[in-house]
């Protein structure tokens, strides 16, 4: 058999495996979205490199894939051309290999003598990010671990485990994990007078009829699960996660309270700007180590905690370690890992898609533009986006991951509400969208961040699939992680 014919046999076999995985635990609406030719187009460049450069090491092939891809181009455009965030770290790879790209600044401005002044700080390999909603993946993983160890059961009722939740007598852990019920507090947590009132508000949370037939995603269920776990385990949520997840993955930089000595490598999310009903709002109290999420920030007045939906800070190195341990089944059995990303809410009714959600995460959505999960991944791949500018993708079936971290809120205008007011404030300058602020300065408007971010994630997914193809041919072995600074 010729070398070319042998490679084509590998290619055909791997594509058929990817097609099988694409339907693995997929919902009816997300089956057979990707075709044979789609995977062929992704993998042919990887196959061609094997012919063009015979007899080199697998990591050299992966380096060439990155060089020939558009990933660095897209990252440069977002950070250095469009300025949609001041800096970014992108990590991608498999259970045995990772590449990390670092670009831009972790901070542009800060307070000095009560004035906002320019003070750029370069992004570094161990920059610490506010994970925002990516915190939820650790909560869902922990709950499945506790269920596996029979400390709790997913079918336990919340009230039976924690009687403080007097209105959740018929709501189970699984209901909250899978967004099967909508919870509502009497008022916003941030509007409470103090933390004691906020906690009383949470303990009296009620189930409400979800009038929005397309939207289920909420933070409140994760916050309820936090209190329930702490009550059962007699330990705060962060330390329960540390025991079962962080210590096992050697995630030394994953914390709720950033040490003062580490603030110099902590990413700034301060000076976010919004225009709400004509009011110019500048958020200037998100100092380094202060969580961005308003609910968590208010509740942290008591002490800094992991709040289920938010509250964690971490680095790309720690997230890579978590992803690789998760994919290899070192935290949970592979069967249990494969359950987290299964769609449990999404269906199509009257030509409207409901949100596609798994256990505290997004599942693959039939429309690629609306999907937090790349369509080329398995039917049960996990996706989570974070408000601060982060995104995590994990595909257990295909053994690959992508993690993107940035600070898209820092020193930028993030939102204009109502949306039809946008054109009153936006100024187009040099193909970039700015908003003229009350101080007379123009600030970048980041409305396109998510879509430009998705270009980066999709390219990183493609590279991960290609690297996985090489492992399929050469066998799986641990390769030193690569870090590229731009």
Q: Which one is predicted more confidently, 420 or 236?
A: 236
| CB-based contacts of 238, cutoff 8 Å, min separation 6 | 255, 256, 305, 306, 311, 312
In a domain, 234, yes or no: yes
Residue 324 lies in a domain: no
Residues 66 and 79 in one domain: yes
pLDDT in tens, 137-191: 999 999 999 999 999 999 999 999 999 999 999 999 999 999 999 999 999 999 9
Q: Please, what is the average pLDDT of the chain?
A: 94
Question: What is the average per-residue pLDDT within 401-409?
Answer: 97
Greatest alpha-carbon span in the chain:
76
Q: What is the pLDDT of residue 428?
A: 86
Q: How far apart are the first and last CA of the chain?
A: 43
- pLDDT tens profile 246-283: 999 999 999 999 999 999 999 999 999 999 999 999 99
> What number is the average pLDDT over the span 436-452?
92
The percentage of the chain sitting over the pLDDT mark of 90, rounded to a whole number, equals 87
Measured CA angle at 10 (ends 9, 15), to 5 deg: 100
What's 393's domain CATH number? 3.40.710.10
Report whether pLDDT(46) > 50: yes
Q: What's the number of domains the chain is made of?
A: 2
What CA–CA distance (Å, rounded) separates 252 from 240? 15
For the cut 60, the answer to whether the pLDDT of residue 1 exceeds it is: no
Per-residue confidence (pLDDT) for residue 212, from 0 to 100: 65
E strand intervals along 170-271 = 182-184, 206-208
pLDDT at 302: 87
The reply to whether 66 and 156 lie within a common domain is: no
Phi, psi of 155 (to 5 degrees): -95, 5
Q: Are residues 391 and 415 in the same domain?
A: no
173 and 66 in a common domain:
no
In a domain, 81, yes or no: yes
Say if residue 340 is in the same domain as residue 400. yes
Q: What tokens does 184 get?
A: 């509502």
Tell whether 136 and 200 lie within a shared domain.
Answer: yes
Is residue 322 situated within a structural domain? no
Question: Among residues 407, 437, 472, which one ends one of the domains?
Answer: 407
Is residue 274, in this structure, part of any structural domain at all?
A: no
Percent of all residues in the chain with a pLDDT value above 70, rounded to a whole number: 98
Whether pLDDT at 209 is above 90:
no
Residues 240, 255 within the same domain: yes
Residue 220 pLDDT greater than 60, yes or no? yes
| Domain match, 104 and 141 both | no
Structural domain span for residue 59: 3-125+409-449+463-485
Q: Are residues 31 and 115 in the same domain?
A: yes
In a shared domain, residues 249 and 370? yes
Q: Are residues 190 and 296 in the same domain?
A: yes
> Within this chain, do residues 201 and 248 fall inside the same structural domain, yes or no?
yes
């Amino acid at each position: 058999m010729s070398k070319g014919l042998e490679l084509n046999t590998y290619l055909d076999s791997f594509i058929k495996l990817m097609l099988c995985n694409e339907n693995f635990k997929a919902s009816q609406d997300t089956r057979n979205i990707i075709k044979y030719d789609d995977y062929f187009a992704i993998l042919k460049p990887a196959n061609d490199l094997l012919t063009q450069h015979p007899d080199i090491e697998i990591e050299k092939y992966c380096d060439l894939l990155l060089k020939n891809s558009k990933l660095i181009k897209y990252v440069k455009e977002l950070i250095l051309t469009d300025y949609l965030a001041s800096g970014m770290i992108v990590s991608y790879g498999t259970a045995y290999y990772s590449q990390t790209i670092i670009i831009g600044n972790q901070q542009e401005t800060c307070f000095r003598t009560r004035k906002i002044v320019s003070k750029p700080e370069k992004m570094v390999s161990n920059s610490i990010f506010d994970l925002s909603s990516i915190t939820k993946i650790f909560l869902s993983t922990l709950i499945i671990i506790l269920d596996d160890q029979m400390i709790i059961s997913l079918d336990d009722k919340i009230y039976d485990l924690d009687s403080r939740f007097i209105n959740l007598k018929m709501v189970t852990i699984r209901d909250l994990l899978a967004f099967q019920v909508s919870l509502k507090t009497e008022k916003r947590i941030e509007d409470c007078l103090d933390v004691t009132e906020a906690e009383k508000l949470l303990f009296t949370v009620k189930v409400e009829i979800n009038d929005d037939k397309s939207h289920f995603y909420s933070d409140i269920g994760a916050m309820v699960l936090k209190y329930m776990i702490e009550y059962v385990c007699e330990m705060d949520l962060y330390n329960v996660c540390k025991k079962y997840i962080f210590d096992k993955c050697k995630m030394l930089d994953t914390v709720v309270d950033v040490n003062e000595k580490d603030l110099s490598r902590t990413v700034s999310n301060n000076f976010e700007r919004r225009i709400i009903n004509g009011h110019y709002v500048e958020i200037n109290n998100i100092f380094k180590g202060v969580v961005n999420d308003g609910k968590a920030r208010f509740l942290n007045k008591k002490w800094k905690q992991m709040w289920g939906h938010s509250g964690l800070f971490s680095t790309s190195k720690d997230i890579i370690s978590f992803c690789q341990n998760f994919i290899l089944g070192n935290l949970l059995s592979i069967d249990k890992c494969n359950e987290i990303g299964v769609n449990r809410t999404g269906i199509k009714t009257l030509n409207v898609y409901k949100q596609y959600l798994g256990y505290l995460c997004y599942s693959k959505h039939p429309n690629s533009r609306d999907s937090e999960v790349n369509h080329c991944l398995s039917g049960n791949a996990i996706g989570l986006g974070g408000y601060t500018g982060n995104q995590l993708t994990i595909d257990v079936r295909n053994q690959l991951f992508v993690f993107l971290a940035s600070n898209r809120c820092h020193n930028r205008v993030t939102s204009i509400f109502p949306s039809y007011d946008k054109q009153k404030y936006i100024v187009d300058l040099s193909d970039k969208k700015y908003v003229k602020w009350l101080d007379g300065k123009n600030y970048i408007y980041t409305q396109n961040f998510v879509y430009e971010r998705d270009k980066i994630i999709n390219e990183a997914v493609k590279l991960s699939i290609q690297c996985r193809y090489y492992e399929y041919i050469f066998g799986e072995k641990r390769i030193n992680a690569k870090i590229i600074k731009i």
